[in-house]
Amino acid sequence: MHFDLTDEQRAIQDTARRFAQNEIRPRVKEEGFKRDIVSKMGEMGFFACAFPANFGGTEAGFLAHSVVCEEISRADSGLRSLFNLQAMTVPYTMMEWGTPEVRSRYVEALNSGSRLGCTCFSEPNAGSDIASIETRIEDRGDHFLINGAKTWISNGTVAEFAVVYGTHDRSLKHKGLCAVVVETDQPGWMPRETPKLGDKSSPIAEITLENVKAPKENLLGEWGKGFVVAMTALDRGRISVSSGAVGLSQACLDASVEYAMQRVQFGKRIGEFQLVKGVIAEMVSLTEAARLLVRQGAWLNDMDRPFSREIATAKYFAGEVAAKVSGMAMEIHGGMGYSLEMPVERYYRDAKLYQVGEGAANIMRLLIADDALGIKKANRPRLHVSSDFRDLE
């Protein structure tokens, strides 16, 4: 692994940073979903880094995807979820596991930002344990019929396409899971937005599905093999999640350094006090360590090598770092950190999601420990076809 970004990756990073500064930061206090910003990010190719040209991609790779995601999250962590939904867990999963009809109909529309997507894993009684999914997918001969309830679905109120995970037989547990692409403009798709602590620019919903239909060609992978589809989707989604956590940590560090060099107490800037320097040093070290772990995982994916263990480690560590560093930023800012005038209160609220969402910290711990103990290897071959997809139409 090379620790320097390539010229192309650095140019992409600079473009994303300028976009964040010019387009996102001026509107960061506006709560709610900003469709125009999503469209602009799609037009800039931010969601298409990992896709080949024949699917509307820039072929810049997963590390470039990570770098862009970090820069956007540094400005507004709430926009980070889009890099899962518009790049990884929805269109990339469709490209990897979908029929030619699915690939041609949905992939480029999503990674270009012209259409919006969501992934439907979680349910009221099934979170990390996706083998307990209760949503029912029935094969009705010429179509699938879907009934169930989903919760904590990012983009759920705005998505036009969804990857829905359900079961055709609950007694089979994970061996009964199926993944189906659903178009949401039908009466049985009923979303309701969920109020939440942070990530205010990312709508999250509870979704009821009543007799929702999908054509047979919208099955991803094989009937009853949806668990494998889910695992590949989650692995790649963790690149986005962990990159977002690094971006948020960097934002906390940026704000803390600026404040420490402006705030004067006892006749000098607080950044000159030894204890404050110690906090800043720890913030720098933790953020840099998380960044290297994340980029290692993304780089391994670019090399078409197994990366499940590495990206689980990165997701776990980066999530812990985001939560810790955001607390440190509050400490540096003192009473002002508790004020709505400063950005760190928003960072503090946004940070917690990285520990509990899209691969909870305890689940990552189990995956990492089982691998280390030899109980269950994390890096299993999962790719459906070659990850560059250049041979697909």
pLDDT on residue 2: 75
Residue found under tokens 């976009």: 19
Residue 393 pLDDT exceeds 60: no
382 pLDDT higher than 90: no
For residue range 130-155, list pLDDT tens digits in order: 889 999 999 999 999 999 999 999 99
pLDDT at 357: 84
Please report which confidence band the pLDDT of residue 188 belongs to, taking 50, 70 and 90 as the band edges.
very high
What local confidence, expressed as pLDDT, does residue 142 receive?
93
> SS3 sequence, the chain?
CCCCCCHHHHHHHHHHHHHHHHHHHHHCCCCCCCHHHHHHHHHCCCCCCCCCHHHCCCCCCHHHHHHHHHHHHHHCHHHHHHHHHHHHHHHHHHHHHCCHHHHHHHHHHHHCCCCCEEEECCECCECCCHHHCCCEEEECCCEEEEEEEEEEEECCCCCCEEEEEEECCHHHHHHHEEEEEEECCCCCEEEEECCCCCCCCCCEEEEEEEEEEEEHHHEECCCCCHHHHHHHHHHHHHHHHHHHHHHHHHHHHHHHHHHHCCCEECCEEHHHCHHHHHHHHHHHHHHHHHHHHHHHHHHHHHCCCCCHHHHHHHHHHHHHHHHHHHHHHHHHHHHHHHCCCCCHHHHHHHHCHHHHCCCCHHHHHHHHHHHHHCCCCCCCCCCCCCCCCCCCC
Q: What is the mean pLDDT of residues 228-239?
A: 94
* pLDDT above 90 for 362: yes
Q: What is the mean pLDDT of the chain?
A: 94
Q: Which residue has the tokens 């089979």?
A: 172
The pTM of the full predicted model, rounded to 2 decimals, is 0.95
Q: Are strands 117-120 and 136-139 parallel, antiparallel or unpaired?
A: unpaired
**239-259: per-residue pLDDT in tens?**
999 999 999 999 999 999 999
pLDDT above 70 for 181: yes
The catalytic site residues sit at: 358
Residue 1's pLDDT is what?
Answer: 64
pLDDT confidence band for 359 (50 / 70 / 90)? confident
Residue 385 has pLDDT above 80, yes or no: no
Q: What is the pLDDT of residue 314?
A: 97
Confidence (pLDDT) at 389: 64
Q: Which pLDDT band holds residue 274 (cuts at 50, 70, 90)? A: very high
| Residue 387 clears pLDDT 90, i.e. is over it | no
Q: What is the mean pLDDT of residues 307-329?
A: 97
The two tokens of residue 184 are: 């949401």
CA pair distance 266, 262, nearest whole angstrom: 13
pLDDT of amino acid 380: 66
In the block, tokens 């040093």 appear at 281
83-131 pLDDT, tens digit per residue, is 999 999 999 999 999 999 999 999 999 999 999 999 999 999 998 888 8
What structural domains and CATH numbers belong to the chain? 7-111 (1.10.540.10), 117-225 (2.40.110.10), 228-373 (1.20.140.10)
Band the pLDDT of 3: cuts 50, 70, 90.
confident
Q: Tens digits of per-residue pLDDT, 36-62?
A: 999 999 999 999 999 999 999 999 999
End-to-end CA distance of the chain: 31
Give the whole-angstrom CA distance, residue 202 versus residue 83: 11
Q: Predicted confidence band at 74 (pLDDT cuts at 50, 70, 90)?
A: very high
Residue 132, pLDDT score:
92
- Please report which confidence band the pLDDT of residue 237 belongs to, taking 50, 70 and 90 as the band edges: very high
Q: In Å, how far are 75, 93, 366 from 56, measured between CA atoms?
A: 26, 15, 37
- 179-197 mean pLDDT: 96
